[in-house]
Structure 1
Amino acid sequence: MAPYASDDSTPAGEADDLRVGRRKAVRYIVPVTVIGVAAATIGLVPALADSGDPDLPKITAQQLIEKIAASDVQQLSGTVKITTDLGLPDLGGLESGLLSGATGAAGGGDGGSSADPSAKLTELASGTHTLRVAADGPDKQKLSLLENAAEYSLIHNGKDVWGYDSASNEVYHSTSPKGKEAAEPVPTTPKDLTDEALKAVDDTTSVTVDGTVQVAGRDAYKLLVNPKQSGSTVGAISVAVDAKTGLPLKFTLTPASGGAAVVDAGFTQVSFAKPGAATFDFTPPKGAKVTEEGSADAPTDVPAPSRDDLEGGFAKDLAGLDVLGEGWTTVATFDSGGEGVPSSGDLPDAGGLGGFLGSFGDKVDGKFGSGTVFSTRLVNALVTDDGKVYVGAVTKDALVKAANTGK
């Protein structure tokens, strides 16, 4: 997401094209960035007990973190329920469509495949969803998103990675190096989400063991993570950790503003038996439209954030972005090269995102100049009138302070 650049040797016509490119960049990069950062941060909700508090041996927070790190579950299958409430405006059920539409616009627009996981899995950023997951070592994983009378599946088997959308009968195919897990566009399981959260654990964080719980019939410890810094929108993170395997079974994030969890992701059923080999078999159904990665139909412009892009959380460089501050109040920033926030009229091909963004933007002023803050219950983004973007899991005041400092 580096800013567009030009030099004095650029011909006038090319310079005009670059300016047009900058304007398009701010239209698409801003909403996609907010979605991507949200995806890297969400996934923690108070771990709710299924049936009482099991009597387990005492364990320290450090020992429990080490248990998570040492967990090496290679084989499992189960059902995960994930509920996400970022507090977006009520758009009559269009929230997930706009989120996936933003990614689609960034990735190539209408020419892309509905089975492309970089667009499909962004639907998890809103509402309640049920996932079926299975794994058998680093070469075989499967994730299925169950929908009304339809199903979306992402299958990794050896070098092949398949995405299949039964609703549209479309298939997306790519390859993955042997022995390497297929990268998912967003964290989707309690383990994925816990891995992201624990990257932020440092001296700005309080970590304690908060009793025990049962999740999906398994005895578990509860790990409680609380930011010490003011200005963070994260209230608390609770992770239910399987007492035997160390695998996170439930992941919960509650916002500093209170109320319902931002995201609640947890197993409702889990088994550590070896899944049947046929679980990971896939052949495109007859009549299905198959899009190959790198083909003319595949997205080529700005890919959706991958797990590698999001590596390191807010405490590290986010996908090459500059960062301000530290710990839980870290703010990522970049120059879009644009001209501030686009209006709804500037976004005819982005699913109405201009009006969507404008519906919850607040004008702010400071030493940096003026701009607009777009808010959710977790992630806030400030877009200045001269095209600079500041984004993080911090309050509006913290964003303005960061922009004033960064100026």
Structure 2
Amino acid sequence: MAPFGTEDRATAAGEPAGPPHGGRRKVARYAVPATVVGVAAATIGIVPALASSGDPDLPAISAQQLIEKIAASDVQQFSGTVRVNTDLGLPDLGGLAGGLGGGAAGGGDGSSADPSAKVTELATGSHTLRVAADGPDRQKVSVLEDAAEYSLIHHGKDVWGYDSKSNEVFHTTADDAGRSAPGKDKPGKDGHGKGERGAENFTGTPKDFAEQALKAAGPTTSVTVDGTAQVAGRDAYKLVIKPKQSGTTVGAISIAVDAGTGVPLKFTLTPKSGGAAVVDVGFTQVSFAKPAASTFDFTPPKGAKVTEGGDRAHQGKGDGPLKGGLPEHLLPTPGGEPGRGPDGLKVIGEGWSAIAAFDTGAKGGVPSGSEVGGDLGGFLDSLGDKVSGKFGKGTVFSTRLVNALITDDGKVYVGAVTKDALVEAADAGK
């Protein structure tokens, strides 16, 4: 089906057609200011996750109406299989994977079942997830591996991680104050969707990613409906989001939205540089029936090593810009407001070209690979480029989507922007 008509483009100019102003307030929770993905947890592309069996013939719909359909969707019960492909352009971590994973290899004081140990594993390559949710208090995500499985289960106040390969269990408790329905951001004090969702509510589905992208709907963004598709056996509309600004590394985002429920079924982010997608997350099979209650039951297997992680509400506390863990705006949310950020973190610019900046207080800059030596030294050299400007000297670490400049006097500039944009921001901040 050909792209829908010109009314879609009214949204791109920030002037949605159709519903009255009051009806748009609910959409603003999702379409305007979780994480550009707390570095990523969230990031992903390449082999199309879902096969298409032709373009279904669906009633025409405007971009604004489709965004409202996503915002109005209140599906809290589902199960299915999700295919995740990630291509950030990172070099092979080799022997570093275990060390960077915080115990992923089972060494040291960490637990291989700790969810944080899985971040580096999901940041590259292809993965199959089995997901299920039944309201705000029950979710389960299982990462299927060769002859093994890792599961993260949220059931009431309990959050369990289980690694079948090592037979290790990680247990912690959910923070009631930060919990909300699956896929929903808890509104901030200003009424916008400032995500306070903990890991226990991240279901690993396209909706988690789509809600971040929808924050970009505004004057810095073009939003259109580009026909239809069939995803995981369901009819869907294709919503396309493109930055209008220069300097960003984001090319386009495509979201396949279920025509019946409004649930995003597939999310694909392609870089401006072209080539394979950076992020491709999509259902290969999905059901919106209530999952069996036993899906969320978990008892540590006999002989398993159990590590207690304590209450999430008390983890990661400290001073400075990283207080409470990775800051929400470490990667600026497209459409966010300039100057907003926690504990000394400053957001420079707006929209897709926004850059987060903070001062680590560390002097001396990033050591070279020869100074560090070993696998870590090689890793640093493969990512880092030495740069200089009015700000002085520093090192830019690059991926296909996110770039970060660390200056020799300890300042950090990071965003989904080009290396030149980072240097210009550092020069302007000097």
TM-score range, shorter chain: 0.7 to 0.9
Q: Does 1:234 align with 2:281?
A: no
Structure 1: how far apart are the matches of 2:140 and 2:203? Answer: 14
Cα gap change, 1:308 to 1:337, in 2 (>3 Å):
closer
Alignment of 1:250-399 (within 5 A): 250-294=266-310, 313-314=333-334, 315=336, 317=340, 320=343, 321-338=345-362, 339-344=364-369, 352-399=375-422
- Offset of 1:392 from its aligned partner? 0.5
Match of 2:139 among 119, 138, 141: 141
> Percent identical across equivalent pairs?
69
- Offset of 1:192 from its aligned partner? 0.4
Structure 2: how far apart are the matches of 1:378 and 1:390? Answer: 14
Q: Is the CA contact 2:268–2:281 (under 8 Å) kept in the aligned structure 1?
A: yes
Alignment of 1:192-207 (within 5 A): 192-207=208-223
Structure 1: how far apart are the matches of 2:45 and 2:198? Answer: 21
Q: Is the helix fraction higher in 1 or 2?
A: 1
Cα gap change, 1:122 to 1:359, in 2 (>3 Å):
closer
Cα-Cα RMSD: 3.1
Unaligned runs of 5+ in 1: 1-32
Alignment of 1:148-227 (within 5 A): 148-177=146-175, 180=180, 183-184=198-199, 188-227=204-243
Match of 2:265 among 249, 257, 260: 249
Cα gap change, 1:251 to 1:142, in 2 (>3 Å):
same
Q: Is the CA contact 2:231–2:266 (under 8 Å) kept in the aligned structure 1?
A: yes
Q: Is the CA contact 2:239–2:257 (under 8 Å) kept in the aligned structure 1?
A: yes
Match of 2:193 in 1: none
Structure 2: how far apart are the matches of 1:345 and 1:299? Answer: 35
Deviates more, 1:298-307 or 1:254-263: 298-307
Q: Does 1:129 align with 2:127?
A: yes
Q: How many residue pairs align between the two structures?
A: 365
Cα gap change, 1:136 to 1:48, in 2 (>3 Å):
closer
Match of 2:191 in 1: none
| AA at the equivalent of 1:190 | P
Deviates more, 1:198-207 or 1:129-138: 198-207
Q: Does 1:76 align with 2:100?
A: no
Q: Is the CA contact 2:140–2:203 (under 8 Å) kept in the aligned structure 1?
A: no
Unaligned runs of 5+ in 2: 1-34, 182-196
- Offset of 1:199 from its aligned partner? 1.4
Q: Is the CA contact 1:34–1:391 (under 8 Å) kept in the aligned structure 2?
A: no
- Offset of 1:299 from its aligned partner? 7.9
Structure 2: how far apart are the matches of 1:56 and 1:34? Answer: 32
SS at match of 1:359: helix
- Offset of 1:148 from its aligned partner? 1.2
Structure 2: how far apart are the matches of 1:183 and 1:34? Answer: 14
Cα gap change, 1:189 to 1:379, in 2 (>3 Å):
same
Q: Is the CA contact 2:100–2:120 (under 8 Å) kept in the aligned structure 1?
A: no
Structure 2: how far apart are the matches of 1:130 and 1:154? Answer: 14
- Offset of 1:305 from its aligned partner? 5.2
Structure 1: how far apart are the matches of 2:167 and 2:323? Answer: 23
Per-residue Cα deviation, 1:127-183 (whole angstroms, up to 9, x for no partner): 000000000111110000011111100001111110001111111111125674672
SS at match of 1:111: coil
Q: Does 1:405 align with 2:399?
A: no
Match of 2:53 in 1: 51
- Offset of 1:59 from its aligned partner? 0.5
SS at match of 2:227: strand
Q: Is the CA contact 1:49–1:213 (under 8 Å) kept in the aligned structure 2?
A: no
Structure 1: how far apart are the matches of 2:203 and 2:342? Answer: 15
Q: Is the CA contact 2:69–2:262 (under 8 Å) kept in the aligned structure 1?
A: yes
Structure 2: how far apart are the matches of 1:377 and 1:311? Answer: 14
Structure 1: how far apart are the matches of 2:36 and 2:137? Answer: 31
- Offset of 1:279 from its aligned partner? 0.4
Per-residue Cα deviation, 1:67-113 (whole angstroms, up to 9, x for no partner): 1111111110000000000011245x55xx53x633528xxx93121
Match of 1:113 among 111, 114, 119: 111
